[in-house]
Amino acid sequence: MLNAKTITEHLLQNRLALTSYVYSVTRNFHLAEDVFQEICVKAVSQKHDFESSDHLSKWFRVSARNRAIDVIRTREGRYVGLSEDMLGLIEGNWDQSTDSRRETLLDSLQDCLATLTPRSQRIVRLRYFENRSGREVAELMGQKVESAYQAIARIHRLLGDCISQKLETESS
């Protein structure tokens, strides 16, 4: 059985991966953070139920997915994200990628995001952290919709190239 301290440490050590999972359900960074915090509180209050860290992680993902869908349905009347089958596939395969590989990829992404111009960083923040549509990004950036989508595609290529280079350098 895990105690409250062990649960808290495990959840904080895995915060990025768990929040990323919740984001895959919500597609809203702020909502993913809210759900993460709510489920953390619930996990600590149910500490007697967890046999291992692996059991805690699996419970967390199921609970967070269900809570996120409930919140979205309450706010918007329905959930229009990934299908239950797709969410099940994601959840089932989530543990298959090793934590060190995931951490390496996330570290590389963070480093590569820092190399973007301030304008590109703003576009990323608007699109992916504030969950704005391409049209909204264009309006906020004072450009045509087509230009915003071209900028987003260019940023994707830059990040992909940067991450690939970092991974190649690390494996050499």
Distance CA 41, CA 57 (A): 14
Q: At how many degrees (to 10) do helices 4-13 and 53-76 cross?
A: 70
Summarize pLDDT for 58-79 with one digit per residue, the tens: 888 889 888 888 888 887 776 6
Size of the chain, expressed as the number of residues it contains: 172
Question: Amino acid identity, residue 117?
Answer: T
pTM here? 0.54
**The domain containing residue 38 runs over which residues?**
4-94
Could you report the per-residue pLDDT of 20-52, keeping only the tens digit for each?
Answer: 888 888 878 888 889 999 999 988 888 668 888
How far, in Å, CA of 29 to CA of 155, rounded?
Answer: 19
Same domain as 83, residue 30: yes
Indicate whether 61 and 110 sit together in one domain: no
Q: Are residues 122 and 107 in the same domain?
A: yes
Distance (Å, whole) CA 152 – CA 109? 15
